[in-house]
């Protein structure tokens, strides 16, 4: 072949072959194959395969408030130890203000407090002590809370039997979940919606006056029953043992009590539990879950085996779910769902089918149009266009990109836009054919002249696509990926493949003049 270097033909042909070969896995789409080659297939996004996308926000405010309350409790204890009377404690959004009776011992209290909570800012003003929750301290709380939440969410999702979930931190205080193939997102939401903080507290049945007046004495708290808000319990604020000491929990069925959750403590928990139950026979022990009392049975005998059951008016599902929550452990703070996008498998399949039809029809229309306008040259451009599509598919498959519905739109759009480079070249050739007579020279000038225009024109589209990727989210990113790949592939197919095909055609047809 005249004027065409062998290395160039070799490069073009091998790239085209690679493109076609590596699009095979995505076209066959064998889900279960472990073959290394067949694994190079396109990942379908949740909007195409069905599944749930959830964005959860860790309610850090709850934690900050909790920490401030801890401060307040500690200060009260310190004041008592130092025999100073506290006139008033105000808990604000970001700090607490403690007004002491006098300022005799205020420095001692301050120093002991700093020993307990490092990094907290304290300001003393006469007999007023202000304890601030500053940004650095908040960040420490935030980071550990997110880390812990991620771990617990992961455990709960694993327990729910979801395959290949994606769980990751998103921004400062959010957790992003992608759950492919989840049919019942409600159950997942249910599982994530509970903090599942389980604690055991002794019930104070002596102080009925406080309970009736609804005033919590220091060190006690009033908590409602899960089934009847009017039933209140006065409990020791200090938890005797908690969910963190559980090693196992599962749903069980008790002949007399119905569905229940049976649990087992670790060694430490079992010892504590044994001690409590043997010291408090005759008293009631409340099981508190997320701020409500599930049950408060009387301790009839010491329980030293380290296991027990929690009863309540559970049904089988509720008991099983509670067991899952207890096994996975408690979230440090409640999670709020701030965004949800769930797609059923039916819609996903419909979208794929519609996308395929649109792509094929778009392709056929463009191909017919190109042949009508440019004849043989149009047909050559069509070969490039088809190869272009293979290359996009193979690139998506090998880089492990995710194909979404907007991504399919990007491919269809690319089909229309990819011929642009060919059109630019052909128009240049057309112009040159009016000025020159040597066929190969015309083609060469045409390609050379069109080159810089093609680059300029495509780079602007690439800029838009890249920024879309940077700022876009989820499915929209899929669009920017296919658009970028399409633009890049179209430059290759036009400048190299069409070029190659045109040279072959001209060499074999032996044309003496060029009519486009």
Residue 10 parent element (H or E): helix 6-21
Residue 480 in the binding site for another protein (CB under 8 A): yes
Residue 44 in the binding site for another protein (CB under 8 A): no
Question: Which one, 48 or 131, has the nearer CB to another protein?
Answer: 48
Kindly report the number of other CB atoms within 10 A of residue 107's CB atom.
11
Q: Within 460-479, which residues bind another protein (CB under 8 A)?
A: 460-465, 467-468, 470-473, 475-476, 479
Question: Which one, 479 or 492, has the nearer CB to another protein?
Answer: 479
Question: Which one, 77 or 476, has the nearer CB to another protein?
Answer: 476
Residue 180 in the binding site for another protein (CB under 8 A): no
Question: Which one, 259 or 428, has the nearer CB to another protein?
Answer: 428
Segment interacting with another protein, rule: CB under 8 A, options 7-15, 220-228, 236-244, 451-459: 451-459
- Return the residue of 213, 316, 361, 399 that touches another protein, per CB under 8 A: 361
- 3-state DSSP assignment of residue 283: coil
Residue 374 in the binding site for another protein (CB under 8 A): yes
Q: DSSP string of 360-372? A: HHHHHHHHHHHHH
Q: Within 390-409, which residues bind another protein (CB under 8 A)?
A: 405-406, 408-409
Question: Which one, 267 or 473, has the nearer CB to another protein?
Answer: 473
Residue 169 in the binding site for another protein (CB under 8 A): no
Q: What is the smallest separation between the CB atom of 396 and another protein, expressed in angstroms?
A: 17
Distance (Å, whole) CA 42 – CA 29: 8
Residue 15 in the binding site for another protein (CB under 8 A): no
Q: Give 275's DSSP letter.
A: H
Whether 159 contacts 190, CB under 8 Å: no
Whether 330 contacts 315, CB under 8 Å: no
Residue 61 in the binding site for another protein (CB under 8 A): no
Residue 258 in the binding site for another protein (CB under 8 A): no
Q: What is the smallest separation between the CB atom of 147 and another protein, expressed in angstroms?
A: 22
Distance (Å, whole) CA 284 – CA 301: 11
Angle among Cα 434, 439, 445 to the nearest 5 degrees reads 70
Q: What is the smallest separation between the CB atom of 285 and another protein, expressed in angstroms?
A: 31
**Integer CA distances (angstroms), 167 to 54, 55, 96, 151, in order:** 10, 10, 36, 9
Q: What is the smallest separation between the CB atom of 490 and another protein, expressed in angstroms?
A: 12
Read off φ and ψ for residue 346, nearest 5 degrees.
-65, -50
Residue 116 in the binding site for another protein (CB under 8 A): no
- Retrieve residue 247's tokens: 């090693």
Distance (Å, whole) CA 257 – CA 17: 69
Question: Which one, 393 or 424, has the nearer CB to another protein?
Answer: 424
Distance (Å, whole) CA 429 – CA 513: 12
């Amino acid at each position: 072949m005249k004027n065409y270097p062998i290395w160039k033909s070799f490069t073009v042909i091998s790239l085209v072959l690679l493109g076609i070969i590596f699009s095979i896995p995505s076209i066959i789409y064998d889900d279960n194959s472990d073959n290394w080659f067949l694994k190079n297939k396109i990942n379908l996004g949740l909007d195409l395969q069905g599944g749930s996308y959830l964005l959860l926000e860790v309610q850090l405010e709850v934690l900050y408030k909790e920490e401030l309350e801890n401060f307040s409790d500690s200060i009260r204890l310190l004041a008592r130890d130092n025999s100073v009377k506290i006139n008033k404690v105000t808990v604000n959004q970001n700090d607490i203000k403690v007004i002491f009776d006098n300022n005799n011992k205020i420095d001692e209290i301050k120093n002991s407090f700093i020993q307990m909570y490092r990094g907290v800012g304290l300001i003393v003003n006469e007999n007023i002590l202000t304890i601030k929750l500053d940004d650095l301290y908040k960040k420490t709380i935030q980071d550990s809370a997110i880390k812990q939440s991620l771990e617990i969410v992961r455990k709960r999702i694993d327990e729910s039997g979801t395959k290949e979930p994606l769980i990751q931190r998103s921004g400062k205080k959010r957790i992003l979940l992608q759950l492919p193939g989840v049919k019942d997102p409600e159950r997942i939401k249910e599982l994530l919606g509970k903090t599942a903080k389980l604690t055991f507290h002794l019930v104070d049945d002596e102080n009925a006056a406080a309970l009736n007046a609804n005033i919590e004495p220091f060190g006690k708290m009033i908590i409602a029953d899960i089934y009847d808000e009017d039933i209140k319990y006065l409990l020791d604020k200090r938890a005797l043992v908690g969910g963190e000491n559980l090693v196992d929990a599962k749903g069980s069925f008790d002949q007399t009590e119905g569905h229940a959750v049976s649990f087992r403590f670790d060694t430490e928990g079992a010892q504590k539990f044994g001690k409590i139950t043997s010291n408090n026979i005759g008293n009631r022990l409340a099981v508190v879950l997320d701020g409500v009392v599930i049950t408060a049975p009387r301790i009839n005998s010491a329980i030293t085996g380290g296991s027990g059951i929690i009863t309540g008016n559970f049904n089988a599902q509720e008991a099983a779910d509670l067991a899952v929550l207890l096994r996975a452990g408690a979230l440090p703070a409640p999670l709020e769902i701030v965004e949800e996008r769930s797609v059923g498998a039916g819609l996903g399949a419909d979208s794929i089918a519609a996308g395929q039809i649109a792509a094929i029809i778009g392709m056929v229309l463009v191909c017919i149009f190109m042949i009508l306008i440019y004849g043989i040259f149009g047909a050559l451009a069509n070969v490039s266009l088809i190869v272009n599509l293979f290359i996009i598919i193979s690139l998506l498959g090998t880089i492990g990109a995710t194909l979404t519905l907007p991504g399919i739109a990007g491919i269809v759009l690319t089909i229309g836009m990819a011929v642009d480079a060919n059109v630019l070249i052909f128009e240049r050739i057309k112009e040159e054919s009016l000025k020159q007579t040597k066929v190969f020279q015309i083609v060469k000038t045409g390609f050379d002249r069109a080159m810089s225009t093609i680059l300029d024109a495509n780079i602007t589209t690439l800029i838009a696509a890249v920024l879309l990727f940077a700022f876009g989210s989820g499915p929209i990113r899929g669009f920017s990926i296919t658009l970028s790949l399409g633009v890049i592939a179209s430059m290759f197919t036009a400048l190299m493949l069409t070029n190659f095909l045109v040279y072959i055609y001209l060499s074999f047809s032996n044309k003496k003049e060029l009519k486009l």
